[in-house]
Amino acid sequence: MAYTVAIIGRPNVGKSTLFNRLAGRRLALVDDLPGLTRDRKETQIRINRRDVVLTDTAGLEDAEPGSIAARMREQSEQAIAESDLILFVIDARAELTSVDRGIADLVRSSGKPFILVANKSESRASDAGYYGSYELGLGEPLPVSAEHNMGLGDLMAEVTNRLDEIATARGDEPEPEDDELTEEQARARPLKLAIAGRPNAGKSTLVNALLGEERMITGPEAGLTRDAIAADFQWRGRKVRLYDTAGLRRKARINVRSETLAVGDALRAIRFAEIVVLLLDAQSPLDKQDLTIADLVEREGRGLVFAVNKWDLVPEPQAYLAELRKSAERILPQLAGAPLVPVSAISGRGLDKVMDAAFKVNEAWNKRISTAALNRWFATALDKHQPPAVAGRRLKLRYITQSNARPPTFIVFSSRPEALPDSYLRYLVNDLKKSFGLGPSPVRLHVRKTN
């Protein structure tokens, strides 16, 4: 299960700066997506082998001056209600304000676990606010400087402790990291699945059909319960963890907002999931949003299944399927191996094929190939189709190794990596996919220099 950690505090105390620090490199992508950060910033991080959703309440620059306090209160209340752990940030360089006190009351009365963070603590000038903050009656503040990168290790350690306590209370075990798993453990793990697609593709209908009950969606309050983030279920005896997107949780709200949000929602779920079912609408498949989501899945290195929904409305299914397969390969050549499966979420027809495809992609996605087998293949592949000569010299490729699974990632060593044409790399990837059954998964191939 994922945990939600909310950063709250009045404007200007440094919440965004702290959010960016804690979010690290993943943030860039979040910021790339217009519409995602409108009312709240949200990103996924791993803390001590746990999935954590980190949220930051948005700035209130656009609020009427007189209404800031009220909106602040409303936003903080909401963030507190949706969080498992609160990071309440104050400005150590400033006197406490009535807004700080108001938020402190909310934190206290919520009864939720919290950490009082005194930001901007990098200098003596900070002492006043730091000691002043004891007045809030929330115990000892933890001094940090988000801007100068000080005290963040201590803060992370404290967050880790708190999450451990919360997890113990709930009886959650932390998940092992991938490289700590034996193969058997890997097989016993749930398939982490997300259903993405543009509004009205039929995601909610599909999710309900999979879960067999109306458990996940309905009503705006559903989004407020932490359990709505993921749902565990069994499919033909195999464990599946279905990651919800805010699009499903807050369905009522989503439909009236900009369509870019669908992409933001997809991104959230994609980050947590391993395999993504991209649900297309058979009546307008592969539209712009579909392509954007497919591209995100590919960039994030997740496994992809195209499911074409509302198949019950297609008059000539055979011909249409062939046509769709062709268009998908033409428009998204980088995803050529991804299965494309017709489904009717409303009748449940094709559901089993979608799930079979997801498990198949997952298997390829997790595959590790022995170095010996890999190099045997490599010799044959080079033989079949020699690397080109550049400026009169034949390019030499020395050997290949698999550096990672999930998705399968390989490194080829060459004397002149820069001279190796993309077309040759594509040949290698395609042959690798064919030879080892990696087709349904994305495969990464890097070239490194060697002498």
Annotated binding site: 9-16, 56-60, 119-122, 197-204, 244-248, 309-312
Stretches 46-54, 310-318, 358-366, 429-437: which one binds ligand GDP (CB under 6 A)?
310-318
Stretches 37-45, 116-124, 288-296, 382-390: which one binds ligand GDP (CB under 6 A)?
116-124
Give 353's Cβ-side CA count (13 Å radius).
14
Structure tokens at 64: 């009427």
Closest approach of ligand GDP to the CB of residue 336, in Å: 25
Q: Report the candidate in 227, 290, 246 with the shortest Cα–Cα distance to residue 42.
A: 246
Do the beta carbons of residue 272 and residue 51 sit within 8 Å? yes
Do the beta carbons of residue 230 and residue 321 sit within 8 Å? no
Report the residue number, 278 or 432, with the smaller CB distance to ligand GDP.
278
Q: Does residue 13 touch ligand GDP according to CB under 6 A?
A: yes
Span 33-92, contacts to ligand GDP by CB under 6 A: 59
Closest approach of ligand GDP to the CB of residue 189, in Å: 27
Span 329-368, contacts to ligand GDP by CB under 6 A: 344-346
- Give CA–CA dist 75/421, Å, rounded: 53
Do the beta carbons of residue 419 and residue 384 sit within 8 Å? no
Closest approach of ligand GDP to the CB of residue 224, in Å: 19
Looking up tokens 């490599």 gives 378
Between strands 114-119 and 85-91, the pairing is: parallel
H helices of 83-126, in order, are 98-110
- Give CA–CA dist 319/443, Å, rounded: 30
Q: Does residue 312 touch ligand GDP according to CB under 6 A?
A: yes
Q: Report the candidate in 239, 293, 230, 284 with the shortest Cα–Cα distance to residue 261.
A: 293
- Give CA–CA dist 267/304, Å, rounded: 13
Q: Does residue 120 touch ligand GDP according to CB under 6 A?
A: yes
Span 134-153, contacts to ligand GDP by CB under 6 A: 145-148
Stretches 183-191, 198-206, 396-404, 435-443: which one binds ligand GDP (CB under 6 A)?
198-206
Closest approach of ligand GDP to the CB of residue 281, in Å: 8
Report the residue number, 117 or 369, with the smaller CB distance to ligand GDP.
117
Closest approach of ligand GDP to the CB of residue 140, in Å: 18
Report the residue number, 20 or 366, with the smaller CB distance to ligand GDP.
20
Closest approach of ligand GDP to the CB of residue 11, in Å: 4
Using CB atoms within 10 A of its CB, is residue 117 exposed (0-12), middle (13-18) or buried (19+)? buried
Do the beta carbons of residue 126 and residue 49 sit within 8 Å? no
Q: Which of 12, 67, 218, 258 binds ligand GDP (CB under 6 A)?
A: 12
Q: Residues forming the annotated binding site for GTP?
A: 9-16, 56-60, 119-122, 197-204, 244-248, 309-312
Stretches 6-14, 234-242, 373-381, 390-398: which one binds ligand GDP (CB under 6 A)?
6-14
Q: Where are the beta strands (DSSP E) in 38-152?
A: 40-47, 50-57, 85-91, 114-119, 142-143
Q: How many C-beta atoms surround the C-beta of residue 98 within 10 A?
A: 9
Q: Report the candidate in 247, 288, 290, 261 with the shortest Cα–Cα distance to residue 37.
A: 261
DSSP 176: P
Closest approach of ligand GDP to the CB of residue 309, in Å: 5
Q: Which of 6, 8, 16, 354 binds ligand GDP (CB under 6 A)?
A: 16
Interaction site with ligand GDP (CB under 6 A): 9, 11-17, 59, 119-120, 122, 145-148, 197, 199-205, 309-310, 312-313, 344-346
